[in-house]
């Protein structure tokens, strides 16, 4: 039976910063494009995947939609296409908004927001121009980063921004950006009450480039002592209009979580809502930062309704950095009072049901991967080894499985005892314990020996019938890698 896992795109694809939108019966994922084992963010040109809203198991792409070199402002220093969004204009065409950035984020705050246009959501886009003032000059109010757009019953609203801790402090970013971009002195910067940090909003004319309103801060950048203090806006602005309310989705300063805020207005009075998801399950059931269930780093995404069900789209980290991020999705519920409860990461997000207990599963669809002290690893390649999704010779596998590592899959629908064939290799020498959940009691144990090549071993596991997790826990010496496992009848 065909199923869909997390990550739901082909396993060699790395599309973070996802903005999911439904257009004419298809769900599209507009996002950045990381490289497999990349050395910095967004090394690849935009490529947009989509699926029929009636079949979320099968995502396909029509190839490259836009390259950085199509933008006349692309330079050696700023040659990476960062987090985009797409909106259908009032003329029925599709408009792609993005900002260019440089190596490891350098220069990402200094350029304009640019736009490109296409007749179809995932066709080949043509450069249109930069977001500009009525006199044609570059629009520069706030930090022109992570654009998000909405066609709000004919009004095109553009959201964007970034925030560094905090405007109250003279952070290096505040100084650097304001002085470099605006040519301001420190005295001038300090005297501007709201500064340039925080999420901003403007409206655009039907040419989709000319700004037609004053730029406004949609949330105060002065968060101390407010409801925002624990989860202040950092980046990843995204906007949805749901049942007459505006939902602003963003990545908080914690970096690993998507939060939301709600207002009756598009540009003011937003109240903090909560966390929707964290890519380390931090906050879920009270989980603490230090107990994160994955290496955490950036996350950026949004929510979308597909065939009556709401989902949150977010990204996870792989390859021991956050330069190779993969899109995942989970169902969410918007309660009658408009609130959204935090959901956990799973391996079966878009599947609509737990996974069946027969068949071959790639190891990398794990939703939890931890040695008990996983790092927060934003904008760097970690020098320390820790368990991670990795790749080589065209295969994706879990690497650096050392003593104490837990690898978790949630959820399966078990019919009872299963045989599990496990394909592994490496210098790991010890035992793999199988459990139904993180830190739960052993259901079975299998010997793991040193193997240069992929090797199969089989273990019988007495699962209880019903919905359950499947976890592997390695205890031993050395370091093993896991390629796949197969659930079989006894």
φ and ψ at 190, to 5 degrees?
Answer: -65, -30
CB of 322 to ligand FUB, least distance (A): 7
- Minimum CB separation from ligand FUB for residue 213, in Å? 24
∠ CA 280-476-457, rounded to 5°: 90
Instruction: Give me the least distance between CB of 159 and ligand FUB, in Å please.
Output: 13
Among 4, 9, 27, 42, binds ligand FUB (CB under 6 A): 42
Question: According to the binding rule CB under 6 A, does residue 41 interact with ligand FUB?
Answer: yes
The answer to whether the beta carbons of residues 33 and 99 sit under 8 Å apart is no
Annotated catalytic residues are 17, 235
Residue ranges in 264-293 that form contacts with ligand FUB under rule CB under 6 A: none
The verdict on 47 binding ligand FUB (CB under 6 A) reads: no
Q: State both tokens at 300.
A: 């950026």
Q: Which helix (H) or strand (E) is 23 found in, with range?
A: strand 19-23
Q: Which of 7, 15, 16, 246: binder of ligand FUB (CB under 6 A)?
A: 16
- Asked if 254 interacts with ligand FUB (CB under 6 A), we say no
Cα–Cα distance for residue pair 391/36, rounded to 1 Å:
8
Q: Of 238 and 368, which has the nearer Cβ to ligand FUB?
A: 238
Query: Token pair of 59, please?
Result: 């995502």
Output the smallest distance, CB 96 to ligand FUB, in A.
15
Residue among 73 and 245 whose Cβ is closer to ligand FUB: 73
Least distance in Å: CB of 171 to ligand FUB?
18
Question: Closest distance between ligand FUB and the C-beta of residue 144, in Å?
Answer: 12
Q: Check residue 304 for interaction with ligand FUB (CB under 6 A).
A: no
Name residue 419's beta-bridge partners. 460, 488
Residues 391-450 close enough to bind ligand FUB by CB under 6 A: none
Does position 235 interact with ligand FUB (CB under 6 A)? The reply is yes
Handedness of CA 103, 105, 111, 117 (dihedral sign): positive
9 CB-side CA count, 13 A? 26
- 257 counts as binding ligand FUB under rule CB under 6 A: no
Q: Contact between 32 and ligand FUB (CB under 6 A)?
A: yes
Question: Smallest distance from the beta carbon of 320 to ligand FUB, in angstroms?
Answer: 17
**Closer residue to ligand FUB in complex, CB, 146/402:** 146
DSSP designation for 440: P
For Cα atoms 311, 315, 319, give the angle at the middle one, nearest 5 degrees.
Answer: 155
Kindly tell me which of 16 and 283 has the beta carbon lying closer to ligand FUB: 16
Closest CB to ligand FUB among 13 and 402? 13
Angle at alpha carbon of residue 474, lines to 465 and 371, rounded to 5°:
105
CA distance 411 to 353: 8
* Separation of first and last alpha carbons in the chain: 19
Which of 147, 236, 354, 387 is in the footprint of ligand FUB by CB under 6 A?
236
Identity of the residue, 89 or 236, whose beta carbon is nearer to ligand FUB in the bound complex: 236
Residues 184-223 as x/- pattern, contact with ligand FUB by CB under 6 A: ----------------------------------------
When asked if residue 232 is in the footprint of ligand FUB (CB under 6 A), the reply is no
**Residue 17 in the binding site for ligand FUB (CB under 6 A):** yes
**DSSP secondary structure code for residue 364 in this structure:** G
Pattern 124-153, ligand FUB, x by CB under 6 A: ----------------------x-------
Bridge partners, residue 252, by sequence: 233
Task: Report the phi/psi class of residue 354: left, alpha or beta, with left for phi > 0 and alpha for psi in -120 to 50.
Answer: beta
Task: Say whether residue 256 binds ligand FUB (CB under 6 A).
Answer: no
Count of residues that interact with ligand FUB, criterion CB under 6 A: 12
Q: What's CA 326's distance to the chain center, in Å?
A: 7
CB of 41: closest distance to ligand FUB in angstroms? 4
- For residue 52, the cross-strand partners are 26
Diameter of the chain measured on Cα atoms: 74
Q: Does 240 bind ligand FUB (CB under 6 A)?
A: no
Using CA atoms, how far apart are residues 303 and 276, in angstroms rounded to an integer? 9
CA distances from 247 to 1, 135, 143, 279, 296 (A): 36, 32, 21, 20, 25
Question: DSSP class of residue 44?
Answer: S
Which of 300, 319, 410, 473 touches ligand FUB (CB under 6 A)?
300
Regarding 159 and contact with ligand FUB (CB under 6 A), the answer is no
Quick check: 43 binds ligand FUB (CB under 6 A)? Answer: no
Indicate the residue among 146 and 481 with the shorter CB distance to ligand FUB.
146
Q: Which one, 312 or 420, has the nearer CB to ligand FUB? A: 312
Q: Is 82 in the site for ligand FUB (CB under 6 A)?
A: yes
Give the C-alpha separation, 345 to 278, whole Å. 8
> Using omega within 30 degrees of 0 as the cis cutoff, is the peptide bond preceding 7 cis?
yes
Residue nearer to ligand FUB on the CB measure, 160 or 361: 160
Distance of alpha carbon 127 from alpha carbon 317, whole angstroms: 31
What is the contact surface with ligand FUB in residues (CB under 6 A)? 16-17, 32, 41-42, 82-83, 146, 235-236, 298, 300
């Amino acid at each position: 039976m065909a199923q869909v896992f997390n990550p739901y795109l082909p396993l060699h694809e790395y599309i973070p910063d996802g903005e999911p939108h439904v257009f004419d019966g298809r769900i599209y994922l507009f996002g950045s494009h990381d490289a497999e084992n990349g050395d910095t963010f967004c090394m690849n040109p935009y490529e947009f995947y989509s699926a029929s809203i009636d079949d979320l198991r099968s995502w396909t792409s029509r190839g490259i939609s836009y390259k950085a070199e199509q933008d006349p402002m692309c330079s050696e220093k700023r040659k990476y296409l960062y987090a985009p969004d797409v909106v259908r204009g009032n003329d029925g065409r599709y408009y792609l908004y993005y900002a260019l950035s440089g190596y490891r984020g350098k220069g990402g705050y200094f350029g304009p927001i640019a736009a490109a246009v296409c007749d179809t959501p995932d066709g080949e886009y043509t450069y249109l121009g930069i977001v500009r003032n009525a006199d044609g000059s570059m629009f520069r109010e706030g930090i022109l980063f992570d654009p998000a757009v909405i066609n709000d019953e004919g009004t095109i609203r553009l959201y964007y921004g970034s925030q560094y801790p905090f405007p109250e402090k003279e952070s290096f970013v505040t100084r650097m950006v304001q002085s470099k971009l605006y040519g301001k002195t420190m005295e001038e910067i300090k005297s501007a009450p709201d500064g340039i940090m925080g999420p901003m909003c403007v409206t655009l004319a039907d040419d989709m480039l000319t700004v037609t309103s004053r730029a406004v801060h949609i949330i105060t950048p002065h968060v101390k002592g407010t409801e925002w203090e624990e989860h202040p806006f950092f980046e990843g602005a995204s906007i949805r209009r749901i049942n007459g309310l505006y939902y602003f989705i963003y990545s908080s300063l914690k970096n690993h979580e998507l939060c939301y805020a709600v207002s009756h207005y598009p540009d003011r009075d937003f109240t903090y809502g909560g966390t929707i998801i964290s890519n380390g399950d931090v906050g879920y059931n009270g989980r603490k930062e230090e107990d994160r269930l994955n290496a955490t780093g950036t996350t950026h995404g949004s929510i979308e309704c597909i065939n009556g069900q709401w989902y949150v789209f977010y990204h996870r980290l792989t390859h021991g950095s956050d330069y190779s991020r993969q899109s995942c999705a989970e169902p969410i519920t918007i309660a009658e009072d408009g609130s959204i409860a935090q959901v956990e990461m799973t391996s079966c997000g878009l599947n609509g049901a737990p996974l069946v207990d027969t068949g071959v599963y790639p190891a990398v669809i794990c939703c939890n991967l931890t040695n008990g002290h996983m790092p927060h690893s934003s904008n760097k390649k970690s020098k320390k080894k820790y368990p991670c999704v990795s790749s080589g010779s065209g295969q994706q596998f879990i690497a650096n499985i050392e003593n104490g590592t837990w690898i978790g899959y949630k959820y399966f629908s078990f019919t009872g005892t299963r045989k599990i064939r496990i394909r592994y290799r490496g210098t790991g020498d010890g035992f793999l314990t199988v459990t139904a959940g993180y830190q739960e009691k052993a259901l079975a144990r299998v010997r793991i020996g040193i193997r240069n090549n992929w090797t199969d071993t089989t273990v019988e596991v007495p699962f209880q019938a019903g919905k359950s997790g499947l976890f592997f826990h390695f205890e031993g010496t050395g370091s093993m890698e896991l390629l796949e496992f197969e659930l079989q009848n006894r």
